[in-house]
Each structure stands twice: as C-alpha cells, then as structure tokens.
Chains A and B, each alone.
Chain A
Amino acid sequence: MDILSNLALGVEIALSPWTLFLAVIGCFLGTIIGALPGLGPSNGVAIMIPLTFTMGLDATAALVLLTSIYYGAMYGGRISSILLNIPGDEPALMTTLDGYPMAKQGRAGDALVISGVSSFVGALLATIGLAFLAPMLSRIAYQFGPAEYFALYLLAFSTLGGISSNNQAKAALASCFGLMIAMIGLDPNSGMPRLTGGNLHLMDGVDFLVAIVGLFAVSEVFFFIESHGKSGALGIKLDKVTVPWRDIWNTRWTMLRSSILGFVAGVLPGAGASLGSFMTYMMEKSIAGEKGGFGTGAVKGVAAPEAGNNAAAGGALVPMLTLGVPGSGTTAVLLAVLMTLNITPGPTLFTDRPDVVWGLIASLLIANFVLLAMNVPMVKVFVKVLQVPPAVLMPGVTMISFVGIYSLTGSYFDLLLVVAFGVMGYVLRKLDIPTVPVIMGILLGNAMEKSLRDAMVLSDGEWTYLFGSAISTGLIIAAVLGFIAPIFLRRYLTKPQRVSD
C-alpha cells in the first residue's frame, strides 16, 4: 500500500518532538483564537503568518504550526458561537442557530461537548479522506494544462459567492476588486511595471498578507469601535461539564452523513466551508422534519454544522494542495502561507515534497486527537478566554497585526496599505460585499492571468482553445452554472439569519 508507507513517512516527521510540540502549541493557540469573539480561523491565522515567518521556522514546521492553529480555530469557533451567539466566521453561523438556544436552556455544557465530538468526527474523517483523495486527484491534475487551470480559476471565482452570499453581483464585484489589485506591479511575462500610477512602492505589487491582515483583522477593530464592544457580554453561565453519551450516540448518523457531505462540499473549489455547514444543516433539518425542533436548540442542529464545517475544512485542503486553488477563506490564507514559503501547491508537490504533504496530513491526524482532548475535558479553560474585554483584545490584535507586517517587510508603506485595506474591509462588509473573494483575487490573480496567456501562446491566440478539452469545457460549464444557479435557487433556499435575543 502506497498510502501506508507515505503515512509512515508523515508520522515519522509529525512525531518528532519539535513538530509535535508545534502541533500542540498550534492547537492551543488556535482554540484560543477561535474562541475569542472577533477572531476566527481566517483572521486568526492571518495575523499569525507574519510572526511565524519572522521566527524563521522551516517549511514543514511553519505549515504544521499554522494548520494546527487553523484546525484549532475551527474547533474553538464553536465556543463563541454557542455561548455568545457570535460566529467567528461565516461557516460558524450555522452553529449559532441551535447552539445558542441550547445554551440559553441551560445546556451550554452539553452543546459544547456535542459540538466538540462532532468537530472531531468531521475533521478525522475528512483528514482520512484527504489522505486518500489528494494523491488520486494529484494524478488527474497532471492532465491540467493552462486552459484547464484557467477554467478551474474561473470556477473557483464564480462559485465563491454561491449560496452564502446574498447578492451575486456583489460577490463577483469582490472577485474583480481582488483581481484588479493583483494586476498592479510588474507584469510577470514582460517584466514591465503596470497600473502602479508611477508609485515606486507599488512596483512589487500588493502583498497578499497586507491585504489579508487589513481586510480580516483591522476592519474588525472598526466594527468593535462602532458597537463599543457591547456584543461581547457573556450572559450564559456554564456549570459542570458532563459528557451527554446518549445525545452523542443518537447523533451518530447525523455526524457521519454531515461529515461526508461536508467533505464533498469542501473539495469543490471556491464553494468551501460555508457551503459545507449550510448544506449539512439544511439536510438534517429536512430529514428531521417539523418535529426535529431545529432552530430551538436541537442537538442534531449543533452536531450537523460542526461536523460539516470541520469536514469541509479538511476537504478544502484537497484542491488547495493538489491544484493550488483554495476552497475557502481560510484555505486561501493557508495558500498564502505556502506561497510565502516558496512551495507551489499542485500535482508536483506530492512527488517533489512528500515530506511536506505527508508530514502535514499526519500532523493533522495527531492534532485532531490533541484537539479532542483540549476541547472536551478542558473546555472550561477556553471559556475563560471569552472574558477578555474587547477594549484590551482589539488594540492588541491591531498592534500584533502591524508589528507582524512591519517585521516582515520593514516598510511604512505596507502599514499604510494595511490601514487602507482595513477601511476597505469595513466599507465592503457594511455593504454586504464578501471580502474572501477579494483575498482570493489578490492571491490567484497573477496565476489566473498567466494560465490564460500561456493557453493563448499555445494556441497562437485562438480563443476556442479554452474549450479544447473535455475537462476545461466541463469546468467552464460548471462555472457558468455555479454562478447562475444560486440566483434562482435563492428563491427556494433562504439562508437562515442569526437568532436574536
């Protein structure tokens, strides 16, 4: 078995004391980051990236640390969803729908344990799925030429808004903003500067880390100023945490179904984790029917989105590692990590750097068990974190973001850009324009343009070449359908809105 020997290599790397230490630290930090209201997986990992690089970790170590933080934040996110009704990021929204009502009924401890166990089931199954599917997909990915890659990028951008956005035009606009920003700087083919407006600082282009930190972390500060930190009041008391074995046993099929569906949703490029938690919640709601009591504190309503969300997080790593196309906001952030480490994701990653890929997969498996141990027996430790007042937390986050970027680039101009992206993020989020596509545009813009130009070089300018193979034609059709379908589906599938007190 090929996969077993690969995993053995991975486990060897993952079990080295240093890597193991980083994984545990990452899980711990990640859970705290996820639990803190106002910080979620994407902005949490975003502010950690510059710090990790300035610490001078090597590729495997940095990747293990940051993905453990990522997985940890996915686990931790449920704590603020359930206890405060504040989702750390988009996918966590579904957990608030039944988790918060459950907590208000005095079952906060049960909700936390059930969601912790379902996170574990989802993430574990997804990591196993990743270990099997990624090598297979990477073999298919060898058949991808520039035309196929261009079609794949198109698919990723057109499905990004998807069901989770309320307005397709706004989702598309966000992608355009990202792509337009990505074009600034030196043209990769000719080496000539373009669209810099003559500004020397813009010659190198806009660093995606600057955009990520600004859009995700700094814009959050402005929201806290607007609400005067009022949303952070902990109104729920958490007494003894016991394990509700019966509820866990009763939700076993829910967890399993949601894990599989979530994983599949995560694998789709672009769609990602939000789709995973949304679809699993809707599926379980319709299976349970009226009697299921979804929206009023149903146990399955907590288990389904958490299993789906974490499974999607694992699934989203598949297209990210094999094709270099992330499936969600947070995998976009992880892609940024890889690109900064000079690791190009894609099919060759599996043959050239098996240590990175399999070390990562094995670390994720181990991290899952560490996270289960941290998040079920030790959950009260992390609940304490919720008491950090926003008036200390948010200035702290801002300063960490600024120092992170400054120590990475050493340029005041990048700090100004962070502020500009912060303001931009605030305005976009006010207007209900999603910010994840902006990040994806900045990250993938140059690769997308390059694939188009390479395709045209191969075909000598013949545009029909883009439809030359079955794969590319299929992907383009999927992209068009993926963009149009939600416009019509939205009439029948309304996104559940947040529960209000």
Chain B
Amino acid sequence: MTRLTDRIFGLVTILVAFMYIMNATQIQASFLSDPVGSKTFPIIVALVAVICGGVMILRPDEEPDWPEGMTLLSIGISVALLIAYSYALKPMGFMIPTAIVAGAISYQISPRPRFAAIAGIGLSVGLFILFKFILGLGLTGLPKGMGF
C-alpha cells in the first residue's frame, strides 16, 4: 500500500463523520419544530464528508513529505508549549510565559540559544509595552502581587 497518508486521513474522516452523525441523531427535538429540524443539515454535510473521505481512500494523491525525527519532535514540543501557554496566561501574567514560549519557539526555528533568549525577552517586554501602554489592552504583566 503506497500513498498511505491520504488513505489513513480518508478513513479517519469517515470515522469522525460517522461519530458526528451518531451525535447528531441524539439532538433533542424542540417544541419549536420546523420541517427540516436540527438534525438534517449536519447529517447531510457529514454524509458528503464520508463520500469525500471515500474518494481520498480510492484515489489518494502523492505522499506529502512529512518531517522526520527531530523536526517532528520540535513541532511536538512547540504544540505542548503553546498548550501550556494557554493555561499559564491568566494565572502567571503576560511577561514570564511569553518570554519562555517566544524564546523556545525562536530556538526551534533557528537553534541559537543566546539569540533565542534575547528574542524571547525582547518580544515579551516589547509586546507588553505595545499592548498595555500603546494599544491599551487590559493585560496583567506579572503574577498577582508582583507589581504591574
């Protein structure tokens, strides 16, 4: 079996679409009913997705160049960092998480530790000044009780 990516993606699409349809059939009907109802349109769209997934399995395109080893790992690390950033932004304030994550992403793009550290801190301070004092967004800079 060659051209595996498209076939796997097509299969995943079909599975997701079926789960979606299962979910749609559970939608509670409301007393305000109309001839089409809440279920029909989502089910039609998901069925079209199933057909498209089928076409992808039967007529797959060339295999894309997936990144290997270290590159895949650095993308994975970046995703994990961004997830952590999402959770950290509120309790930790803007500056500390931004400096860490911006520096880390900079390092993943071009692995120069000193440059990345300066880029991270520079972006953190620069963007904070831009957001807080020039654009006037209501950001907290540091964790509660540490100024700003």
Contact = CB atoms under 8 A, between A and B. Distances in A.
A391 B131 contact: no
B49 A177 contact: yes
Interface of A is mostly: helix
Interface residues of A, number: 64
Nearest to B105: A395
Contact of A415 (B55, B71, B85): B85
Nearest to B102: A395
B49 A456 contact: no
Nearest to A398: B105
B79 A453 contact: no
Contacts of B36: 452-453, 456, 461
B139 A192 contact: no
Contacts of B136: 55
A428 B78 CA distance: 18
Given A419-B82, A422-B82, A453 B139 contact: no
A395 B119 contact: yes
A192 B83 contact: no
B61 A432 contact: yes
A452 B41 contact: yes
Contact of A456 (B17, B35, B86): B35
A180 B27 contact: no
A400 B128 CA distance: 10
Contacts of A406: 89
A214 B110 CA distance: 22
A460 B33 CA distance: 12
A14 B96 CA distance: 42
Contacts of A222: 75, 78-79
A426 B87 CA distance: 22
B78 A176 contact: no
Interface in A176-209: 176-177, 179-180, 183, 187, 189-192, 194-195, 197
Nearest to B47: A176
Contacts of B42: 180, 183, 194-195
Given A189-B32, A423-B79, A456-B34, A173 B13 contact: yes
Given A170-B52, A460-B35, A399 B83 contact: no
Nearest to A430: B64
Contacts of A392: 106, 119, 122-123
A181 B125 CA distance: 36
Contacts of A167: 61
B18 interface: no
A131 interface: no
Nearest to A396: B123
A189 B107 CA distance: 49
Interface stretch (A21-29, A96-104, A225-233, A312-320): A225-233
A194 B123 contact: no
Of B6, B9, B38, B112, chain A has the most CB atoms within 10 Å of the CB of B38
Interface in B1-46: 5-6, 9, 13, 17, 20, 23-24, 27-30, 32-36, 38, 41-42, 45-46
B27 A195 contact: yes
A166 B61 contact: yes
B145 interface: no
Closest A-B pairs by Cβ, 4 of them: A461-B35, A190-B30, A415-B86, A173-B52
14 contacts: A54-B137, A169-B59, A176-B48, A190-B29, A225-B75, A390-B110, A392-B106, A394-B105, A398-B105, A399-B98, A406-B89, A431-B5, A431-B6, A452-B41
Given A399-B98, A412-B87, 8 more contacts: A170-B61, A190-B30, A391-B109, A391-B115, A400-B127, A402-B85, A415-B86, A419-B83
